[in-house]
Amino acid sequence: MASSKTITVEVDDVSYTDDVEPRLLLVQYLRERLGKTGTLIGCDTTNCGACTVHLDGVSVKSCTMFAVQADGHQVTTIEGMATDGKLAPLQEAFHQCHALQCGFCTPGMIMQSASLLKENPHPSEAEIRDGLEGNLCRCTGYQNIVAAVKSVADGVEYGDSGVSASLEDAQNAGVS
Amino acid sequence: MTATAQVHSNEVGKARLRKEDAHLITGRSRYTDNMVLPGMLHLAMVRSPYAHAKITGIDVAAAKASPGVMAVLTGADVAAEQGSLPNAWPITPDQKAPAHPSIAVDEVAFAGEVVAVIIARSVAAARDAVELVDVNYEELPVVLDLEEAFTDTVLAHPSLGTNLSANWVFDSGEAGTGAPVEEALANAEVLIERTFYQQRLIPSFMEPRSTVVDPTSEQLTMWTSTQIPHILRLMLALTLGIPESKVRVVAPDVGGGFGGKLQVTPEEIITVLAARRMGKPCKYTETRSESLMAAHHGRAQVQRLKLSATREGIVTGFSVNLLADMGAYLGLVTSGVPILGAFMFNSIYKFPAYRFECNNLFTNKAWTDAYRGAGRPEATFAIERIMDELAVELGMDPLELREKNWIKHEEFPFTTVCGLEYDSGNYEAATAKAVELFDYAGLRAEQLRRRNSNDPVQLGIGISTFTEMCGLAPSRVLGSLAYGAGGWEHAQVRVLPTGNVEVVTGSSAHGQGHETAWSQLVADRLGVPFENVEVLHGDTQVSQRGLDTYGSRSLTVGGMAVLAAADKVIEKAKVVAAHLLEASEDDIEFSAGNFTVKGTDTSTSLGEIALATFAAHNLPDGFEPNLDSDATFDPVNFSFPHGTHLAAMEVDTETGQVRIRKYVCVDDIGVVVNPMIVEGQVHGGLAQGIAQALYEEAVYDDAGTLVTGSFVDYLVPSAPDLPHYITDRTQTPSTTNQLGAKGVGEAGTIASTPAIVNGVLDAIRHLGVRDIKMPCSPSRVWHALEVAKTTGGAQ
Ligand code: FES
Ligand code: FES
């Protein structure tokens, strides 16, 4: 077995120094060594995006790089998105727009969406869809994910009624 | 009783944001693979590369010597204890099924079957050692194609002597629910004969399956990514001969199921066997490639259909002959999936004669089982495709043809040719709304323009009107179909001394939002704040009884159990209220969380009664100091959601490229508890139905190796592949449950596939294309167009 290497990585604002095997994937390092289990693994061919994190502010699929490649870099995971107990706008928007069901794709979707909005703060619906092409969701059919990202781009402010503004409807009143 | 009379609609009907979200959006999730236990060992599976072979020897010495490996188990090692994986639905008394060991002992029947398991200190060490296991195989001939399987030329399991597992027939003439179909077909003015193919699909939940088993202490605990913790617990006990009381199953966060996690898997059994041997917790998490190869598949049918009608377009008879692919084994409900479809081929129509025959066949492929809709999407596809074919034959608008045949609004309740009683529905209303939202007339005009101008991009309109039987299921009906369990659901409502309420449900969610919806139900019924209700589920130690989540049953069965349990709480609390308020029980009224003496303003709240009951200082003589209540609800009938889906499809005749220009669906799912959650279910369902029509197919090569063995080749659609859906609802309450709800989990998937394919064909039928096998990929569409060109349309 190849000899291990010492790396120093800043993850969600904490600096870690660890000995790792060269073949250890970044996602394994995050999950297994640091206990950052918010970042998930959904495939073995770089297709699903469940493992998406930010490396120096840019989204990467953490299953496609080795932990050693993150040496000296800054990683942000879904667990580092909320600040001072306040949800990041995308987290809030995913909640408000019902952009998640089982939640398995959600960490990756949120990280990818954040990166997308950083590159293109005012994307069209088509640009949002294209920007999320590398992230699969089996539950939502994507429409509410697209709406959530759009709502952040549009600067929508959410109240605290506990009710979804976009998906409320009063059809039960009109029983036929 | 009107359907909604007993519900105070404060919470029911609100788009409540989900209680489930907070931990999922912040990465504090608890999926099984996140679990780490002290001393935990890791498993990796050695899987057969051959679709059919004898195992003539296994050498595990090198694997055992590999660093970090603690043990290697083969089928022979566990033969005495592993039992046979269960099939709970023997559809005929003489159904044939091979033994189904979790680790193959001397023969493998599909590529991906487990032949040995490595137990090691790390995942990496376990996977490294997989390569070192030397298995000697003697290859056997494979049977992969259904039509070939039916001929019995090559056998998937030579020991069975046939590929036929079971033959199952429903005949309306024999059942007395309609006329004999043979006569109708013989006397047909118009006879349409078609064969349609339901390709094999892979459920493709995003969370790969994962299982952790802790054998320490007296009770074995399993955490697993399952839809069915209760059924699994029972089946583990039966399969392995462990007392049920010694098994606890927990479904923590589960990353999607869609029927794909409605299974008792070899990997779950193997993890138990390994943990027991080692005396240490063991974990197995599959890779995506393993998941695609070895988790059960769905659909996979050949549908041979005959439809007879009058020249005016009145259908007189429908005959369905299915070849259904079981794959290599029978899983939990594999054999029953086609039967779930048997009662749905007549859909929303008043057919006078119907016959269904199904041949369940073994092949050397991964076994099939429930996938979203399970039997009903297949049936809906067949009838909606052939209704379009009839419309073409008669030169009639396909909507008009449907209307001529469907059950009219005023004809409900209606007993169908299958003997099911549809309690309610309004197909006219849903269709009218869909037609308007869609701009049916406008798009038909555009279609004509494009056709006349020979536009390279042709437009087609696809229609699907559908119904489904859901809310599985009345236990007696399941009994009559030889299913191995009932269809009831259990709930418990507990009022804590603080007045907070705990709801225990046997219906274990994995993305459906039960915690939110059940909180809404109970908040209304007990008059407590939504926030004060906590819903517990998915752990057999917390929720002792249940039949779990599938078949769009949660609300119409599980939700009703919750309401019934809440009602019992109110009844008990009323006794205490009367005592405390010094009034007769008959004079106590309950409303919005308060018990009031009729005609006075003397009252006490449920919370006060809960505290008084907890203290038990001053209760009526003989009153058991406990308000908590259990209820088990067994539905008297299915519920029958329905809807009209319309798809405008653009087909580029030069490239074969297909685009969904507009998709409108109007669903009637009865009374809605949370419109936001419903919307999400519809969207997700549509995506999976559209995926069958356009993208997905599990493909095997001639040797029986899965070619679509990764997400590179198995095309789960991503955001740019899917359209913006235009959704709406009509509402005809179900009369079979007190809420008036019908179920929505599978509707989108059932309805959308035929809408899309009908639309594609409608765009290019005039160019001579009569059918395209799903998925309608650009290359298939292009080829169909080329063939039509060279043959002048005759195919
Ligand atoms: S785990 Fe699927 S892309 Fe990384
Ligand atoms: S929410 Fe389940 S995969 Fe996206």
Tell me: the pLDDT tens digits for B669-719? 999 999 999 999 999 999 999 999 999 999 999 999 999 999 999 999 999
Query: What pLDDT band is residue B546 in, cutting at 50, 70 and 90?
Result: confident
* Domain end residue (candidates: B579, B605, B633): B633
**Residues B649, B505 share a domain:** no
Q: How many separate domains does chain B show?
A: 2
CATH number for the domain formed by residue range(s) A89-172: 1.10.150.120
Whether residue B776 is contained in a domain is answered as yes
Q: Taking all residues of chain A, what is their mean pLDDT, rounded to a whole number?
A: 93
To the nearest whole Å, the CA of B555 is away from the closest chain A CA by: 16
Query: What pLDDT band is residue B793 in, cutting at 50, 70 and 90?
Result: low
Residue B321: pLDDT over 90: yes
**What pLDDT score was predicted for residue A139?**
97
Residue B509: pLDDT over 90: no
Atom of ligand 2 nearest to the CA of B256: 2
Q: Do B288 and A105 touch (CB under 8 A)?
A: no
DSSP assignment of B160-180: GSSSEEEEEEEEHHHHTSSB-
Average pLDDT for B316-327: 98
Q: Cβ(A48) to ligand 2 under 6 A? A: no
Domain positions in chain A are: 5-80, 89-172
**Residues B559, B509 share a domain:** yes
Partners of B255 on chain A (C-beta within 8 Å) are: 40, 42, 102-104
Query: What pLDDT band is residue B303 in, cutting at 50, 70 and 90?
Result: very high
Residue A150: pLDDT over 90: yes
Q: Do A98 and B17 touch (CB under 8 A)?
A: yes
Cα A124 from Cα A73, distance rounded (Å): 32
Chains A, B: CB contacts within 8 A come to: 221
Angle at which helices B778-791 and B747-764 pack, to 10 degrees? 30
**Pairing mode of beta strands A52-55, A74-76:** antiparallel
**Residues B724, B706 share a domain:** yes
**Residues B692, B726 share a domain:** yes
**Residues B648, B599 share a domain:** no
**Residues B433, B581 share a domain:** no
Whether residue B688 is contained in a domain is answered as yes
**Residues B690, B672 share a domain:** yes
Average pLDDT for B645-664: 98
**What pLDDT score was predicted for residue A168?**
66
**What pLDDT score was predicted for residue B393?**
98
Task: Of B383, B363, B381, give the one whose Cα is nearest residue B373.
Answer: B381
Burial class (CB in 10 A: 0-12, 13-18, 19+), B502: middle
Which residues span the domain enclosing B598? 21-28+488-633
Average pLDDT for B638-642: 94
| DSSP code, position B62 | H
Task: Return residues 114-153 of B near A (CB < 8 Å).
Answer: 124
Q: Taking all residues of chain B, what is their mean pLDDT, rounded to a whole number?
A: 95
Query: What pLDDT band is residue B6 in, cutting at 50, 70 and 90?
Result: very low
Strands (E), B388-527: 414-415, 421-422, 457-467, 489-495, 501-505
Average pLDDT for A27-37: 98
Whether residue B568 is contained in a domain is answered as yes
Give the CA radius of gyration of chain B. Answer: 28
Whether residue B443 is contained in a domain is answered as yes
* Domain end residue (candidates: B610, B633, B656): B633
Q: Which of A45, A106, A144 has the CB atom closest to B24's CB atom?
A: A106
A6-15, A62-71, B101-110, B540-549, range with the lowest pLDDT: B540-549
Average pLDDT for B229-244: 96
Residue B795: pLDDT over 80: no
**What pLDDT score was predicted for residue A2?**
59
Cα A175 from Cα A167, distance rounded (Å): 19
Read off the tokens for B761: 């064909």
Task: Look at the domain A5-80 and name its fold.
Answer: Ubiquitin-like (UB roll) (3.10.20)
CATH assignment of the domain containing B650: 3.30.365.10
Please report, rounded to a whole number, the percentage of residues in chain B having pLDDT higher than 70: 98
For residue A147, what is the nearest residue in chain B, using CA coordinates?
B724
Q: Do A171 and B729 touch (CB under 8 A)?
A: yes
**Residues B435, B582 share a domain:** no
Whether residue B270 is contained in a domain is answered as no
Q: Cβ(A102) to ligand 2 under 6 A? A: yes
Pick the residue of B206, B210, B371 with the most A CBs within 10 A to test the interface with A by mutation.
B206
**Residues B628, B544 share a domain:** yes
**Residues B756, B732 share a domain:** yes
* Domain end residue (candidates: B633, B654, B686): B633
Whether residue B342 is contained in a domain is answered as no
Query: What pLDDT band is residue B510 in, cutting at 50, 70 and 90?
Result: confident
Average pLDDT for B64-71: 98
Residue B485: pLDDT over 90: no
**Residues B788, B652 share a domain:** yes
Q: Do A50 and B206 touch (CB under 8 A)?
A: yes
Whether residue B196 is contained in a domain is answered as no
Partners of B749 on chain A (C-beta within 8 Å) are: none
Partners of A45 on chain B (C-beta within 8 Å) are: 288-289, 710-712
**Residues B571, B526 share a domain:** yes
In angstroms, how far is CA A167 from the centroid of its own chain? Answer: 23
Q: What is the SS3 assignment for B4?
A: coil
Average pLDDT for B467-487: 88
Cα B565 from Cα B44, distance rounded (Å): 44
For residue A83, what is the nearest residue in chain B, using CA coordinates?
B26
